[in-house]
Amino acid sequence: MDKANSARHWLRRIAPLFLLWHVACDRMASRQATTKADDDHDALQVMDSVHIDLTGAGATLPYPLYARWFNEYAQVANLRINYLSVGSGEGIAQLRDGQVDFGATDTPVDDSLWTASQGQVLHVPTVIGAVAVSYNLPRQPRPLRLDGDVLGDMFLGKITEWNDARLVALNPDMALPALPITVVHRSDASGTSAVMGEYLRLASQSWKEKQAGPTTPEWPVGSGVSGNEAMAAMLRQTAGAIGYVEVRYARLSRLPTAQLRNRAGRFVGPMPYEIASAATAVFGTALASGSGRSDLRRSLVDAPGADAYPLATLTWLLLPTKRLGPVGLRQMNEFLDWAFHEAGNVPSELGYVPLPDFVSDQVLSELQRAIATAAPPAR
């Protein structure tokens, strides 16, 4: 089977898991979200009596998945992995400073950032997630519809009221209130913010003119919070607020999520099929039909395709070959082989989309090549 057909087969294969995702989200939301968060914290970060073999830090977007994976892997393998959910930027800084064995990010990192002590740093995609645009508008049974230009102008402070004519034009069936818009953004160095900023640069003319480079957005208006949990809490308690949050946190907090106009002109929400469709469009064309070895640092933001959700994203582990050495790289390779092939439907249960098989196979092949060429670890 060629890779393009493999991508389509993967989309069909994971479709039955989407029902499972809906059921899981409902069940999780009906419980206290803090209970699970405390369990994950206890499992990963309060391990004084347990030997830790590897420690990583970074993105909050995949934290619920990594918490589950690392905890379950510890039950079947002789490896304990500790992960600190501190945000992509802080995780990259800790990796660069030698404080952790690996990092995690929702956006690719330029190779020029690393020092000789890290050696080559591999970008290893683990799963597909999404950023949701969430808001707090009481008594609105329909999802809000937004396009890139309107969303960009809201975050630039050019649209300040919910009953603005441009919002009304996009949402003729909603009774939008005469309520001030309160913009909420991340204040930390966040991969979630970087995904949002990339989308605004691509889809909003005003934003493109203001911030043309691939940098963390500079928010001219609004209130800043640190982390997905704090973003969800702020949106939940602030009438008239709009912000962006990893989709699982939106579901757990029962926050509404906007439908965004994609490149095909359709309004789509952050549902598993639409998230998977973005990956299918990218991998099935630019990646799968490309010649030779493909770059695993591809963006899914504003992907083509009729059903593609514009704020889909890969999330990556950052593995420094020199620091980990052949032993550490082999440990991560064995863990990922287990996660991809033996861990079951954990990503789908938690609201993520698993990688296509040919991409996860490529990840393991890249790691095997790195193991073969790695020098002993420098510690």
What is residue 49's predicted lDDT score, i.e. its pLDDT?
A: 44
| Per-residue pLDDT reduced to its tens digit, 100-140 | 999 999 988 888 888 776 778 999 999 999 999 999 998 89
What is residue 51's predicted lDDT score, i.e. its pLDDT?
A: 56
Together in a domain, 103 and 143: no
Together in a domain, 40 and 158: no
- The CATH number linked to 63 is 3.40.190.10
Together in a domain, 27 and 118: yes
Last residue within a domain, chosen from 223, 255, 277: 277
What is residue 142's predicted lDDT score, i.e. its pLDDT?
A: 92
Q: Is residue 253 part of a domain?
A: yes
Nearest to 88 by CA among 285, 233, 227: 227
Together in a domain, 87 and 194: no
Tokens of 153: 């102008």
| Per-residue pLDDT reduced to its tens digit, 24-39 | 444 444 443 333 444 4
Together in a domain, 157 and 103: no
Q: Is residue 288 part of a domain?
A: no
Burial 128-161 (b: 16+ CB within 10 A, else e): bbbbbbbbbbeebeeebbbbbbbbbbbbbeebee
Using a CB cutoff of 8 Å and minimum separation of 24, what contacts does 286-295 make?
A: 287/3, 287/359, 288/2, 288/3, 288/4, 288/6, 288/7, 288/358, 289/3, 289/4, 293/362, 294/362
DSSP 286: I
Q: Is residue 292 part of a domain?
A: no
Together in a domain, 151 and 92: no
- 125-to-175, 294, 322 alpha-carbon distances in Å: 42, 13, 19
What is residue 35's predicted lDDT score, i.e. its pLDDT?
A: 39
What is residue 28's predicted lDDT score, i.e. its pLDDT?
A: 46
Positions of the chain with pLDDT lower than 70, given as ranges: 1-52, 117, 212-215, 285-295, 375-379
| Per-residue pLDDT reduced to its tens digit, 182-228 | 999 999 888 889 999 999 999 999 998 887 666 678 899 999 999 88
Rounded to 5°, angle at Cα 158 from 170 and 278: 50
